[in-house]
Amino acid sequence: MTTRLSRRDLMVGTLATTFAAALSGTSTPASAAAVKFGPSKPFSWAILVERARDAAAKPYQAPYKPAPEIVSQIDYAQHGKIRYKSDDALFVDNPFPVTFFPVGKYFAKSVRMNAIDGQTAREVLYEPDYFDMPADSPAQKLPEDTGFAGFQVREKSRPDWRTQDWCAFLGASYFRGIGQSGEYGLSARGIAINTASPLPEEFPDFTEFYIQPASAPEQPLVIYAFLDGPSVVGAYRLVIRRTEGVIMDVENQLFMRQDVERFGISPLTSMYWFDEYDKAYQLEWRRAAHDSEGLALWTGAGERIWRPLVNPPAINTSVFVDNNPRGFGLMQRNRDPNHFLDRWLNYEHRPSLWIEPVGAWGAGSVQLIEIPTDHEDFDNIVCMWVPKEPVKAGQAHDFRYRMHWMNDEPFPAPNLARTQATRVGRGGFPYSRQNPPPIKRFEIEFSGGELDTLPKDVKPEVVITPSRGTVSSIFVETTTWNKAWRVQFDLQTEGPEPVDIRAFLKHGDTALSETWLFQLHPQQQKL
């Protein structure tokens, strides 16, 4: 529960923009009258990489936590009363002003912020005057060297730029971007260390940021970050563009202090509580509640896979072995508000996040970790790339990838039908009255691609492969209400162990749909 809470707390904190505080500046640090800076120092990507390499050879030192007895009093209620002075944002005359998060109970570590000007950088020094806060706020007692917890990027061309941001870094190595619909949702991390492994999970921190302003609205903002943790030290460069959503080009150089059991590259963190296919055991009036509904994969061999997320009875890891993957991501495909029936949380506007590897990543696996949850306050989904070869102390690694914070995949397969719905119910005929029933009925709807243009006298063939169990009562038909093709079948299994099911449509030797994968937990779905 502690791990899940820490992930979800990050999301709650970054969504609550009303407690954000801003720091002032103009497009060049030297002309920023309201901001205090440290001395100028040389800065470059090469310098940051060399610092990371040197630090990896030294013992780990935990980040600075200012005045813990005071910071612990700044809970969400107190945090929400601290207002950023947006008129004093760093790079306030730039297309993308930057404002900073204050420290608080849930983000207690101080992170150094630096503004880049040419080949030099200057640290932005903390001042309580940068914030509007009540006279009785515990934050009034913070020391002068408190620092900041994170930062947000705003969009000066928007009339609501003072209250709306489009990119945020806050907590450990977490960061987020908004999608095309203007909402935050799932998060990304710089690295994942030993997530859901026998060893304790580590959460390395971005301890320093170096921010290079964009020269024009169509130009990128560049963020450099120094990552530090017990097992790894790293240098990160993120070239961030504001498009219909947000595009981030990420490059890292990683240096290992210790061996790592599970080394997660480009990790994504999201929330899945329930959808229509697993809602039967949830006491909820809504039809669905999730930031992401499925994992999409484009394998190195070219196969397209859709794996609906599940809320398992116990922590569950699914491993998708691959070589040089073309892309993967956690997707929110359903954009119909009637599917969620929630006027406040706007799940239909949550972004999808697609990872596009740059260069050859070699052999490894996309790993999906699903953690049980009984509420939407917990981020319980993790997805990441894990290299095949063991990661050992003294090694150096580097990865490059592009992150697409959009509504959908950036490179869909136009010829393949997609999964439009997944449903699970009682199987058999007549329907079983046992609870849980020994036979499950699955219904999948596919539409799009060449499936929509099949001649009327052509019926697609379905290929169904379960990891165990017996499949029966298979038939394929068109629907009258949405012109999709429906696949229906029964599955009978013994025992409580999960069952992985694979299905797709074809005509002859030609695949007509993406591959649908599903993991059934027989004892959980008491239908």
Domain spans of the chain? 2-406, 418-520
DSSP letter for 182, please. Answer: S
Q: Which two tokens stand for residue 515?
A: 């591959």
Q: Which two tokens stand for residue 294?
A: 């499925």
Nearest to 226 by CA among 187, 202, 254, 256: 254
What is the model's pLDDT at position 524?
66
Q: What are phi and psi of 211, to 5 degrees?
A: -110, 125
Q: Which two tokens stand for residue 72?
A: 């612990």
Report the distance separating Cα 147 and Cα 509, nearest Å: 62
CB 466 within 8 A of CB 491: yes
Q: Which two tokens stand for residue 128?
A: 């309580």
Report the distance separating Cα 431 and Cα 426, nearest Å: 6
Single-letter residue type at 455: P
Residues above pLDDT 90, as percent of the chain: 79
Q: What is the largest CA-CA distance in the chain?
A: 79
Q: Quick one: average pLDDT of 470-484?
A: 88
Nearest to 97 by CA among 88, 109, 106: 88
Range of lowest pLDDT (20-29, 163-172, 215-224): 20-29
Report the distance separating Cα 234 and Cα 420, nearest Å: 41
pLDDT tens, residue by residue, 366-419 = 999 999 999 999 999 999 999 999 999 999 999 999 999 999 999 999 999 999
Range of lowest pLDDT (38-52, 336-350, 426-440, 509-523): 426-440
Q: How confident is the model at residue 456 (pLDDT cuts 50, 70, 90)?
A: confident
Report the distance separating Cα 490 and Cα 499, nearest Å: 13
Range of lowest pLDDT (4-13, 127-136, 297-306): 4-13
Q: How confident is the model at residue 8 (pLDDT cuts 50, 70, 90)?
A: very low
Asked whether the predicted pLDDT for residue 229 surpasses 90, the reply is yes
Q: Quick one: average pLDDT of 131-142?
A: 93
Report the distance separating Cα 398 and Cα 361, nearest Å: 10
CB 188 within 8 A of CB 169: no
What is the model's pLDDT at position 9?
44
Asked whether the predicted pLDDT for residue 333 surpasses 60, the reply is yes
Which residues have CB under 8 Å from 315's CB, separation 6+?
A: 196, 369, 370, 371, 372
Q: Quick one: average pLDDT of 74-103?
A: 91
Asked whether the predicted pLDDT for residue 474 surpasses 50, the reply is yes
Which residues have CB under 8 Å from 162's CB, separation 6+?
A: 86, 87, 154
What is the model's pLDDT at position 217?
92
Q: Angle at Cα 494 formed by Cα 489 and Cα 496, nearest 5°? A: 105
What is the model's pLDDT at position 248?
98
Q: What DSSP element (H or E) covers 345?
A: none
Q: Quick one: average pLDDT of 422-442?
A: 78
Q: How confident is the model at residue 13 (pLDDT cuts 50, 70, 90)?
A: very low
Q: Which two tokens stand for residue 136?
A: 């009785």
pLDDT tens, residue by residue, 283-312 = 788 999 999 999 999 999 999 999 999 999
For 199, half-sphere exposure in the C-beta direction (CA atoms, 13 angstrom radius) is 14
Q: Quick one: average pLDDT of 257-265?
A: 98
What is the model's pLDDT at position 16?
37
Tell me which residue has tokens 């393949």: 416
Q: Which two tokens stand for residue 218?
A: 């169509």
pLDDT tens, residue by residue, 54-88 = 999 999 999 999 999 999 999 989 988 988 798 88
The 8 Å CB, 24+ separation contacts for 296-302 are 296/327, 296/328, 296/329, 296/330, 296/331, 296/354, 296/409, 297/322, 297/325, 297/327, 297/328, 297/366, 298/325, 298/326, 298/327, 298/328, 298/409, 298/411, 299/325, 299/326, 300/324, 300/325, 300/326, 302/326
Range of lowest pLDDT (168-177, 311-320, 515-524): 515-524
What is the model's pLDDT at position 83?
81
The class that CATH gives domain 2-406 is mainly beta
Asked whether the predicted pLDDT for residue 443 surpasses 50, the reply is yes
Q: How confident is the model at residue 280 (pLDDT cuts 50, 70, 90)?
A: low
Q: Quick one: average pLDDT of 192-203?
A: 96
Q: What is the mean pLDDT of the chain?
A: 90
Q: Quick one: average pLDDT of 317-321?
A: 98
The alpha helices in 345-490, defined as continuous H runs, are none
* 3-state SS, residue 467: coil
What is the model's pLDDT at position 1?
31
What is the model's pLDDT at position 237?
98
Q: Which fold has domain 418-520?
A: Immunoglobulin-like (2.60.40)
